[in-house]
Amino acid sequence: MVFPEQRTKRGSVGRRAAAAVAALGLLAVASDAAAFCRSTTCRTTKDKECPTDADGCSTDGAKLFWPTSCISYATNRLGTSDLDPADTRAIIRKTFQAWSDVDCADGTVAAMTFQEREPVSCKKSQYNKTGPNVNVVLFQDSNWKYRGIDGTLAKTSVTYNDETGEIYDADIEVNTANNEVTITDDPAKVQYDLQAILTHEVGHFIGVAHSPDPGAVMFASYSPGSMTQRELHPDDVAAVCGIYPENGGVACNTEPRNGFSAECDDPEPKGLCSVQPASSGVSYGALAIVLGSGLVAARARRRNNASMTSLTDGGRR
């Protein structure tokens, strides 16, 4: 999805992009119901591509998973300046609910639910390897610091055990610095639908990668003005049911790793706030997939002998 002017927030470019998405959908062969992909510990870098199967799913590395059937999350208390905080939290709640207690095709119910905590002061995508944590959903109204992916609507960073794929922490950031997100149900007023965007990100939050199925929530592209990705598609249902089966024997534990904290103990140093202006004129070409064209390793950490890595939902060149 070439979407070089996506940062202009709206308008004809966005609509043209929507048409391009639709055309791609028509070209796609009818996809099977289980085309979904799992995120894995394999990280594509500029020097190395992760091998993939015919569906584009990574075939290398351990598959990511939460070792619990319920996960807690919290929204940053500042929300986003253009939207009512309570309304915003209600939308965020819906996006987690979309993936909760999902009815599977075989009559079972996926073993995954979420607990919403009170809003937190933490406004940073971060994992504290020696201290308490919070899985936070936050909005970057003025500082989208991820160079090269400022055409991206949102980014989910997942920290996991590099050997087992066990997820330790996940944080979602919404790029409201460069995009006008909306929460309206009025089709004439929808710009970048927050519910659709975050339903996709919650999929990454639980370890689902991009799906080749153009009807899936986890399809890598978002058509501006669309609300269809608010609801799970059979492919997304197959994903959560496959990763978190009812009979998986996993207990519920909403406590973040090392305990819960509403604060980030490593405040961002001042002076790092200058970002590329949105009008810098950089063309992202094929990167311009709105929800990110792939999974890009952001950083690696080590603790004891096991390394952990943050996985982001961003674009790649």
- Residue placing its CB nearer to Zn ion in the complex, 166 or 313: 313
**235 interacts with Zn ion by CB under 5 A:** no
- Residue placing its CB nearer to Zn ion in the complex, 153 or 238: 153
**313 interacts with Zn ion by CB under 5 A:** yes
**What is the secondary structure of 72-99 as a DSSP string?**
EEEEBTT--TTS-HHHHHHHHHHHHHTT
The minimum distance between CB 197 and Zn ion, in angstroms, equals 9
CA distance 306 to 165: 11
List residues bridging with 38 in a β-sheet: 208
CA 235-241-242 angle, 5° bins: 85
The minimum distance between CB 209 and Zn ion, in angstroms, equals 8
Residues 253-312 binding Zn ion (CB under 5 A) are: 291-292
Residues 30-59 binding Zn ion (CB under 5 A) are: none
Residues 193-222 binding Zn ion (CB under 5 A) are: none
- Residue placing its CB nearer to Zn ion in the complex, 150 or 313: 313
Whole-angstrom CA distances from 156 to 148, 204, 220, 243, 279 are: 15, 7, 13, 18, 24
List residues bridging with 54 in a β-sheet: none
Nearest to 277 by CA among 139, 176, 177, 174: 177
Count of residues near Zn ion by CB under 5 A: 3
The minimum distance between CB 199 and Zn ion, in angstroms, equals 11
The minimum distance between CB 155 and Zn ion, in angstroms, equals 9
- Residue placing its CB nearer to Zn ion in the complex, 71 or 208: 208
Count of H-run helices and E-run strands, the chain: 4, 9
The minimum distance between CB 84 and Zn ion, in angstroms, equals 26
- Residue placing its CB nearer to Zn ion in the complex, 79 or 203: 203
The minimum distance between CB 2 and Zn ion, in angstroms, equals 17
- Residue placing its CB nearer to Zn ion in the complex, 214 or 292: 292
List contacts with Zn ion (CB under 5 A). 291-292, 313
